[in-house]
A and B are shown apart, each in its own frame.
Chain A
């Protein structure tokens, strides 16, 4: 086989491996377009985009976090708190002030998560589980456990502004996709994020400021949660202290279905977008085909597990192939293999 052919095959293999979820998405869209006449109408497409944009925006932050081998489960609490703050400040100081303060609060909370993880060295799963609980508690406290309606309707009106048949949240989603893709795939910082997620020790040896590279995605996630909270508040016409409680799992599901590795170092923004869209389209399809809403969770969960299982199987089968070039070191023997009966741990000095 000449090199050009094998190169093309290799690229094709990589593309199918990385973006198999895109193929599934196309298949689901095609099926729904045939089964349900409403599916491909402009209003339904716009509807789907509205629905996925909030989760999608936060998924972009989560994608970058996952690549850096971290996690954020506090986004639900953070969004609830941010939304309540937006509503309260909007009623007191005006809608613009509410939006600025609300987004600012989310950025600060994200930064707090980042500090806890990078400075105090708490595992990010535990840290954000804790802060998430605290944030949602604060949202309840601040709102007296009730929804706060914003008197002015300007935010709601703004969120339903349409251009070219698509409303504002979808444009915000597009903007966030662009910013995230730029950060993760264009900048030096993005490349360093992959390095830290792939092998933090090696990144440190190469001079990468590991803590900083881990910290930034938390702040970005905070910012994106702030933006999503503005949309949420606009769509609901006020701050609801529990409205975003289910978001963390949906966001993680979207990112993982897209093919982003929770072990870090592997994933793209496109994967996150495809994953979110797949779940959004499936939910929309179930709705259109008149399934009970309860099926949405069941399908999302099933897709999640199936996607990860298929990914693991593909990885295993491709890893099993013989390497293109492999030569054993000669002369001085190197034995990398641990004794088979080794129990595992070494004594840490």
Chain B
């Protein structure tokens, strides 16, 4: 059996949820000294795999063996004791501590009152840093360091616990080209010490540069595995995207009425963006959303499309011109709401007041446009809240605390409060179905289509191509803060969206990066 030679191996690893399989029958043999790349589209099962291997999720089927011995990874602590170290994408380090302290913190076993061994921690750090040229100095605080230094410290921390397997989750997403190469050099050195590296990324060029073997996941299944040397980006991309089951299914049900799109492009009304700039995001030409139209902005995380949507609503500073219904939008949330332009975000922690009742959350936007010293509405919100609950099939009552509802139901309320109350005639959406179950999504999509059919304008930002294809009359893929070529309804497919975005999602060249 090859299992004896593997640092980590899985057989038939499966993670099922009611109605879907996030990962099915996944086999993996991770050999010491090997860098194994994992690629896949959103929802392909990459993060499920990482979570299972790091002990954050318990698989519903299959087995895992570490160094030939079958194990059940019940929690993250156990994963670490088994020698599986994970560098998560969000780099959970402490900015207020020095690099050396970041490595040492939490590992000082049973010596709470003994003096902190700063000196020996520093020495240990320097010894480890010898293998990592580019590691920050032991005494510098991380908040003063670059993202690359963070990445290096995170890897050093993962290595410090006698790792046998190192799992990296999107390690290069914010690095410059040079830093990326430097990181890959370190990783090769790590692998040369006999450590098995699992490298998960959506940057195909990274995978091809550093990994020796690549596994391609699609819809939770392994669809291709082979040496990287035999592949180029196009081949990899076609493994990732072509003929996905989802793509076919969505196309079948996603027949959207095309007429308003045609009528909209010339109309003076609707939402019109002209030479808008906010943060790293720039729209050079114009972008418009006519009444009755749903326009999609598709991009990966950090594509800049979210910034644009927030800037239109007035949450971010912006330059350029944004008009709605023929008049300029002044650029504060309250003014936007007054004019009928609303933003619903899928980030419910930011948008919901958990301690408040469903009803109070529901009426809050209406409250914000009333004169401050007016009497606050007492009972008027109840009927509207009940209507939203019925229309969106929310499991909950108006009097319940928002925090008591499940995430998906909170989300429905946060969207419904703009639609049911007719506060908005232009809806800006930021991942409106993020973390919502399948039936919840369908309910939300149906409501959005009805909203557009009534003459509302919808600008939808989503990182889920399926959603874009299911809802939009046309879509603009977004990458690195810029819109790519607009896709009409006829051209709109999941494959094409992913292809365009991934093909142009490149790391910033060093000249583009501003400190």
> Which residues of A pack against B, CB within 8 Å?
186-192, 194-195, 198-199, 201-209, 212, 216, 265-266, 323-349
Contact = CB atoms under 8 A, between A and B. Distances in A.
Contacts of A334: 407-408, 435
A345 B76 contact: no
Interface in B71-110: 75-77, 80, 86, 88, 90-96, 102, 105-106
Given A209-B334, A335-B57, A341-B76, A330 B437 contact: yes
Given A208-B368, A347-B93, A329 B437 contact: yes
Interface residues on B, range: 35 or more
B22 interface: yes
Given A208-B364, A326-B404, A339 B92 contact: yes
Given A188-B371, A188-B376, A330-B18, A347 B56 contact: no
B59 to A, nearest CB: 12
B395 interface: yes
B374 A207 contact: no
A346 B94 CA distance: 8
A330 B147 CA distance: 36
Nearest to B334: A207
A204 B438 CA distance: 29
A324 B15 CA distance: 29
19 contacts: A195-B367, A206-B368, A207-B333, A207-B336, A216-B372, A265-B353, A323-B404, A329-B408, A331-B438, A332-B437, A333-B15, A333-B17, A335-B51, A337-B56, A339-B56, A339-B88, A341-B76, A341-B77, A343-B93
A337 B56 CA distance: 9
Interface string B351-380: 111111000110011011111111110000
Given A329-B437, A332-B436, A347-B147, A205 B345 contact: yes
A187 B57 contact: no
Given A205-B343, A330-B437, A191 B91 contact: no
B185 to A, nearest CB: 22
Contacts of A325: 395-397, 400, 404-405
Indicate the member of A323, A332, A348 with the most B CB atoms within 10 Å. Answer: A332
A329 to B, nearest CB: 4
A187 B375 contact: yes
B435 A188 contact: no
Contacts of A199: 350, 352-354
Nearest to A261: B355
B315 A343 contact: no
Contacts of B437: 329-332
B150 interface: yes
A243 B365 CA distance: 45
B94 A265 contact: no
B337 interface: yes
B382 to A, nearest CB: 15
A193 B365 CA distance: 14
B487 to A, nearest CB: 25
B94 A345 contact: yes
Contacts of A187: 372-376
Given A206-B365, A332-B437, A345 B333 contact: no
Interface in B405-442: 405-409, 435-440
Nearest to A210: B333
Given A189-B372, A201-B351, A334-B407, 6 more contacts: A186-B375, A187-B375, A203-B368, A265-B355, A345-B94, A347-B95
Contacts of B360: 191
A340 B51 CA distance: 12
A327 B350 contact: no
Interface in B323-363: 332-334, 336-337, 343, 345, 350-356, 360-361
A209 B147 CA distance: 34
B57 A332 contact: no
A202 B373 contact: no
A208 B361 CA distance: 13
Contacts of A329: 406-408, 435-437, 440
By Cβ-Cβ distance, the 7 closest A-B pairs, closest first, are: A207-B368, A334-B435, A189-B372, A331-B438, A342-B92, A331-B437, A207-B337
Contact of A333 (B22, B376, B409): B22
Contacts of B367: 188, 191-192, 195, 206, 208
A198 B356 contact: yes
B54 interface: yes
Nearest to A194: B356
Nearest to B370: A188
B90 A346 contact: yes
A209 B335 CA distance: 10
B363 to A, nearest CB: 9
Contacts of A344: 92, 94
A195 B334 CA distance: 15
Nearest to B433: A332
B369 A207 contact: yes
